[in-house]
Amino acid sequence: MKFEVNEPALGEGDRLQPEVERLSQENLALRMEMARLTQDNQDLRESAKIWIRLYDAHRARANRAVAELAADAGNPATDLSRASTCSFSKTSA
């Protein structure tokens, strides 16, 4: 089995050159965009980790505050990580 390679006619390569150049530029632009998006993704992941740590720290702080209030009032502590809502009743002195 013999394969034939069709060589472009003289001048056909010149006609295709603008398309090749356009595709090369588009490829470069896409590579740059991919690098930017990859960096953005990395930055957002790092930011999310920070926000998660802040959230966990504030939730723990809130749980400690609820436990202190409950201890002062003689009520069992409420864990905010398991409670969907937290309500306090007003006590008369």
Per-residue pLDDT of the chain (93 residues; tens, 9 = 90+): 666 766 656 566 678 889 999 999 999 999 999 999 999 999 999 999 999 999 999 999 999 999 999 888 876 555 555 554 444 444 443
Sole residue written with tokens 């992941």: 45
In this prediction, residue 33 carries a pLDDT of 98
How much helix, strand and coil, in percent to the nearest 5, is found in the chain?
65, 0, 35
In terms of Cβ atoms closer than 10 Å to its own Cβ (0-12, 13-18, 19+), residue 63 is: middle
Residue 71: partners with Cβ closer than 8 Å, 6 or more residues away: 77
In this prediction, residue 24 carries a pLDDT of 96
- Pull the structure tokens for residue 82: 């398991």
Q: Comparing C-alpha atoms, which of 14, 43, 15, 36 is closest to residue 28? A: 36
